[in-house]
Structure 1
Amino acid sequence: MKISSAFAHRTIRAAVLIAFVFFIVRISQSDALSYYVAPRMELWVKGLAFGLYVLAMHQLYLAVRDVLSNKKTAAITCTCSSHSHDQWKPSVIIMYAALIVPLVLAFFIPDAVLGSQMAAKKGLNLTPSGILLHSNSGDAAPNLIPNHKLQLDSGPSFPFNEYTRPYAKQAADMYNQPLISINDDIYIESLTSMDLYQEQFIGKKVQISGYVYRLDSMNKNQFAVGRFAMRCCVADSVPLAILVGTDTPEQWQNDMYVVVLGTIEKRNFDGKSVLAIDAKSIDTQKVPTNPYVYGNPYFGD
């Protein structure tokens, strides 16, 4: 391989790395980074951009050094005959294409929030407590059986085990509220607590805001209100929602951001027992700055 070929490869690598850096900088400056990663990952992504920039500068340095010194690189001086040094073989071209094509798409496709179409493809999670129990399914079965309970002075009890203790406390706190308000900072934990103790919350008043989602299996008077819950990045996001029943479903189109006020009841949906809201009022609301919700890092402390 000649110096010109080595220069071309290193220049391409540097260009690809710099393009990744520019993309991260662009979405950071436009406040679109939250569309891709959770807040706790943003610092890592920005640090990655710095690391990629250093690598890009190193590739440019090597490219210029080879041209100025007019010498072959150490890799080229290999004297073995067991393999080819043809650096433009198909596997290398495919490798470049695998990096360049996503970059081109990332720059030309507008940043967008995951919406109802993706929610329908992923499937709405109307029973979030199932995730809680499934995440501990590898432990011994007796650990999943409630062996304690939190008894309210004038109200129901909330059985719990070592895994569900914080959810029992959250459920008890929510039950004591005249109007249960599902806030963004504890959105996931609130819906999980309500689902875990469905019977206790029947008849309680609740207010929740979120995007309108629909599934083909819903009847004409139903839709779901919820948000995409993100753990680390957009790839692991899950549409977390609660079923809503209303007499005016045609007014509320998919992906509208609404606030629903109503009474909690229990319904059977797709063979599962799920909570639903018998809506008393539905209003549009300004879309939040951050469209996704995240696990509360202080929950259970």
Structure 2
Amino acid sequence: MKLDKKQPLNIYVVLQSTLIALFLCGFLYILYQGWILKYLHPRMIKYVWIAIFTFIGIIVAYLKNFLSFKKAGRMPYTYFVFLIPIGFMFFLPPVTLDSSFVQGSRINLYKNEKDNENNIEDKLSVKEDKKLLSNILQETPLRTYFLNEEDGYIIIEQENFYSSLMALHFSKNQYIGKSIVIEGFVYSDASFLENEFIISQFLMSCCVADVQLIGLICQYEEETEIQVDQWFRVEGILAEGEGLNNGMTMVVVEKMTSIDEPEHIYIYPY
């Protein structure tokens, strides 16, 4: 297909501007739908807005070239390849993660740092975690996070999940034997004993690519069928792990109550 020698509009500029405008609309659409939070940390949203305003600036800059003439050539059909990712933005609903996304390297149970003293990477991780915990505690006293003075339970919910696990890790001996209530979803695989699972949540530092599963190992002696990825409110007693779980804080479960999955499944370290 040949274009006219003298065209009223520069078809190349029109197509480029249209594609950029569609990408712009796609970003606005996933922001409006709230889908963006399934892929990015809330603090990263500002960069999406930077991209949006950049697209607007490019479109405005292209306006002056709409009526510029260009030598006739073939219709640039290759531009239509960009319609594929644009279509995904509008018509492909976001996928909610489940435990099948997690591999062993993405499971963090916060072993006692004595077990890590010969590993340089783990030393650095512990140092960073201590610094982060220190910053958290400066903003809010530790007891505010998870100690309920009325009934004596340690309460760990989505809002304080990460900071609470950090505090339990670094002050483990202070809380062994105390009652705990914790909410999350069940994770288990072939490496766990029959009566063991992790009550866990997904931790996102930047985007979905760096998501980790963090939580506490639980032991439950009741003969109850528990589905992986099912959300529960777990009540039990904090204990120190033995054997393969040595150095870990774990929960001896007394009661489990099924709860609804929250609308937003990620927690954040900051």
TM range (shorter): 0.7 to 0.9
Matches of 1:233 and 1:7 in 2, distance apart? 39
Amino acid at match of 1:52: F
| CA displacement, residues 98-125 of structure 1 (integer Å, 9 cap, x when unaligned) | x655444444432122211112465321
| Alignment match, 1:207 | 181
1:25 to 25, 28, 41: 28
CA distance in 1, matches of 2:12, 2:123: 48
User: 2-side partners of 1:104 and 1:225: how far apart?
Assistant: 37
Question: Kindly, what percent of the aligned residue pairs are identical?
Answer: 20
Counterparts of 1:96 and 1:20 in 2: how far apart (Å)? 13
Please tell me whether residue 137 in structure 1 is matched to residue 113 in structure 2.
no
Q: Deviations over 1:33-62 (max 9, x none)?
A: 211222222243234223323324434x25
CA distance in 2, matches of 1:249, 1:269: 23
Cα 1:128–1:41 shift into 2, 3 Å: farther
Across the aligned residues of Structure 1 and Structure 2, the Cα RMSD in angstroms comes to 4.2
Query: 2:236 aligned with 1:262, yes or no?
Result: yes
8 Å CA contact 2:13–2:66 kept in 1: the answer is: no
Checking the alignment, whether the CA contact within 8 Å between 2:147 and 2:155 is kept in structure 1 is: no
Distance 1:196 1:227 in 2: 19
1:52 matched to 2:55? The reply is: yes
Q: Is the 8 A contact 2:198 2:216 kept in 1?
A: yes
Which one of 102, 117, 123 corresponds to residue 100 of structure 2? 117
Q: Decide whether aligned partners of structure 1 residues 172 and 54 sit closer, same or farther in structure 2, where only a CA change above 3 A counts.
A: closer
CA contact (8 A) 1:122 1:239 kept: no
SS in 1 for 2:180: strand
Q: Where does residue 65 of structure 1 map in the other structure?
A: 67
TM-score by length of 2: 0.74
Tell me what 2:218 maps to.
244
Within 1, Cα distance between the matches of 2:134 and 2:66?
61
Specify the alignment match of 1:149 in structure 2. Answer: none
Q: Are residue 222 (structure 1) and residue 196 (structure 2) matched?
A: yes
Match for residue 259 of structure 2? 285
CA shift, 1:231, in A, is 1.9
Please state whether the residue corresponding to 2:174 is helix, strand or coil: helix
Q: Could you tell me how far apart the structure 1 residues matched to 2:112 and 2:136 are?
A: 10
Correspondent of 2:37 among 9, 34, 54: 34
Q: 2:163 aligns with which of 189, 195, 201?
A: 189
Q: Is the 8 A contact 1:224 1:242 kept in 2?
A: yes
The DSSP-based 3-state class of the residue aligned with 2:160 is helix
User: Is the Cα–Cα contact under 8 Å of residues 264 and 276 in structure 1 kept in the other structure?
Assistant: yes
Give CA-to-partner distance per residue, 1:205-246, whole Å, 9 cap, x none: 111111222232112212211211112222222211111221
| Secondary structure in structure 1 of the residue aligned to 2:107 | coil
SS at match of 2:162: helix
Change (3 A) 1:257 1:11: farther
Structure 2: gaps spanning 5 or more residues: none
**Structure 1 regions of 5+ residues with no counterpart?**
73-87, 145-160, 297-301
